[in-house]
């Protein structure tokens, strides 16, 4: 079985019930999630050997996070225990024209304060063929950035394919700091994933005059973004850009592009009625990695990834709890939603 390793932060997710606002709710629904953990869950669901690496405190809440990952088939044997706390994020789900809100409480979390030397990357990467990280992890602080860089360098030395989802988070760092740190990290990346805001905020590469709120995207602008990323980082073999048309918080157009060998490929587009948008990009990354690891060509891997992410938008929680069969059915054109008996 092919093995993929992901590295990042898993958090306690506290969401208001239904579509209640923070000020309305007197309770929260407690689950777990985080970019790289979400990708690991997707890959495990698809039948791959997926290992998630992080640092968590030695307490009952962190134990619960690990047990849930284990129950979903993720290898947690390389999770370090130490530090003071697990990060938390609070979620208020939006609807119609009201946007969702996220409030972070993750400062001084265990993974952000762990020394880079606490991870034995050569041991962790034994038998692995793929390493995935996101721009969220180095944004947690200098120690997390150092650990990510050491991981990416070691992965490349050991012959792994390295992928990165740029995932710019303005609540974690500035565009200037992101550019400084990510410019070094992306030198060790083979497959870069992102959207138009990521490319602009992190590297100053803008998708022309495109407007995601208009309901229409100009494909030529996205081809230009991908081409400029590869010009800036010649080590990149593929660039994939998600194309989200934000019609409202409840309805999005959803598609993606992959650019490789100076050739763009676009997926089919889905009109999604959203149940839970959080984790949508991670489910796309997980689908794309699975497709490539399974030997699919760029077009088939892309369509698999978009279909996987389309389905995730209908599932509450961070994790994409779908099977290969379900994704393949949708990618093959069955978007009817008919009861499967």
DSSP 250-266: SEEEEEEEEEETTEEEE
Half-sphere exposure of 319 (CA within 13 A, CB side): 25
Predicted confidence at residue 333, as pLDDT, reads 85
pLDDT of residue 220: 87
> Which phi and psi (to 5°) does residue 243 adopt?
-120, 95
Can you give the pLDDT at residue 339?
Answer: 46
> How far, in Å, are 12, 41, 299, 338 from residue 330 at the CA level?
31, 20, 15, 11
Task: Report DSSP state, residue 135.
Answer: T
**Mean pLDDT, residues 155-183:** 96
- Please tell me what DSSP assigns to residue 97: T
DSSP 99: P
Q: Say whether pLDDT at 119 is over 60.
A: yes
First to last CA, the chain: 31
Q: In what order do the strands lie in the sheet with 101-105?
A: 29-33, 11-15, 88-92, 101-105
For residue 334, what pLDDT is reported?
74
User: What is the average pLDDT score of the chain?
Assistant: 93
Q: What is the mean pLDDT of residues 176-191?
A: 97
Q: Which range among 121-130, 216-225, 289-298 shows the weakest confidence by mean pLDDT?
A: 216-225
Q: What are the structure tokens assigned to 327, written together?
A: 């994704």
Does residue 242 have a pLDDT over 60?
yes
Active-site choice (282, 298, 300, 318): 282
Helices (H), the chain: 35-45, 60-71, 110-113, 121-124, 142-157, 175-185, 196-203, 219-232, 280-293, 298-312, 324-331
Position 341 confidence tier, pLDDT thresholds 50, 70, 90: very low
Residues in CB range of 293: below 8 A, 6 or more apart: 2, 4, 48, 129, 130
Helix (H/G/I), strand (E/B), else coil: 190? coil
Between strands 11-15 and 55-56, the pairing is: unpaired
Q: Model confidence over 34-67: pLDDT tens digits?
A: 999 999 999 999 999 999 999 999 999 999 999 9
Q: Which of 76, 79, 86 has the alpha carbon at shortest distance from 113?
A: 86
CA-CA distance, 289 to 332, in Å (whole number)?
19
Relative to beta strand 29-33, strand 49-53 is: unpaired
276 is known as an active-site residue: no
**What mean pLDDT is predicted for residues 222-250?**
94
Higher-confidence residue of 335 and 12: namely: 12
Read off the pLDDT of each residue in 64-86 and give the average, rounded to a whole number.
97
Residue 219: the pLDDT is 82
Distance, CA of 9 to CA of 69 (rounded, Å) = 13
Which pLDDT value is given to residue 210?
55
Distance CA 299, CA 240 (A): 11
Of the pLDDT bands very low, low, confident and very high (cuts 50, 70, 90), residue 196 is confident
pLDDT higher than 80, residue 215: no
Side-chain half-sphere CA neighbours of 222 within 13 A: 27
Between strands 130-134 and 161-165, the pairing is parallel
Mean pLDDT across the stretch 154-161?
98
- pLDDT range class, residue 336, cuts 50, 70, 90: low
Name the percent of the chain lying above pLDDT 70.
Answer: 95
H or E stretch at 192: strand 191-194
The owner of tokens 């740029």 is 166
Instruction: Look up residue 226 and give its two tokens.
Output: 């991908």
Of 118, 106, 53, give the one whose Cα is nearest residue 82.
118
- Is 265 buried (19+), middle (13-18) or exposed (0-12) by CB count in 10 A? middle
Q: What is the pLDDT of residue 185?
A: 98
pTM for the model:
0.94
Average pLDDT over residues 8-12: 98
Does residue 208 register a pLDDT over 70? no
């Amino acid at each position: 079985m092919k093995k993929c390793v992901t590295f990042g932060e898993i958090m306690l997710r506290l969401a208001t019930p239904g579509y209640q606002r923070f000020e309305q709710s007197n309770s929260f629904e407690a689950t777990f999630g985080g970019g790289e953990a979400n990708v690991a869950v997707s890959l495990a669901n698809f039948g791959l050997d997926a290992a998630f690496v992080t640092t968590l405190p030695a307490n009952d809440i962190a134990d619960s996070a690990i047990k849930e990952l284990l129950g979903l088939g993720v290898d947690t044997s390389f999770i370090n225990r130490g530090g003071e706390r697990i990060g938390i994020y609070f979620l208020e789900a939006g609807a119609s024209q009201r946007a969702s809100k996220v409030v972070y409480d993750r400062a001084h979390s265990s993974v952000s304060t762990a020394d880079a030397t606490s991870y034995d990357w050569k041991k962790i990467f034994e038998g692995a063929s793929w390493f995935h990280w996101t721009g969220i992890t180095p944004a947690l602080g200098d120690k997390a950035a150092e650990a990510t860089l050491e991981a990416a360098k070691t992965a490349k030395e050991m012959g792994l394919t390295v992928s990165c989802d740029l995932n710019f988070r303005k609540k974690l760092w500035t565009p200037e700091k992101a550019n400084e740190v990510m410019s070094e990290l992306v030198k060790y990346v083979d497959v870069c994933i992102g959207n138009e805001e990521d490319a602009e905020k992190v590297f100053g590469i803008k998708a022309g005059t495109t407007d995601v709120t208009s309901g229409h995207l100009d494909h030529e602008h996205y081809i230009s973004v991908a081409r400029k990323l590869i010009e800036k980082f010649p080590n990149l073999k593929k660039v994939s850009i998600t194309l989200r048309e934000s019609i409202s918080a409840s309805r999005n157009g959803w598609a993606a592009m992959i650019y490789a060998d100076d050739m763009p490929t676009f997926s089919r587009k889905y009109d999604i009625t959203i149940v839970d948008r959080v984790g949508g990009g991670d489910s796309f990354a997980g689908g794309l990695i699975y497709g490539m690891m399974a030997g699919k060509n760029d077009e088939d891997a892309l369509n698999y990834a978009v279909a996987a992410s389309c389905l995730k938008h209908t599932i509450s929680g961070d994790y994409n709890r779908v099977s290969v069969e379900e994704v393949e059915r949708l990618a093959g054109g069955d978007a009817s939603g008919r009861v499967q008996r």
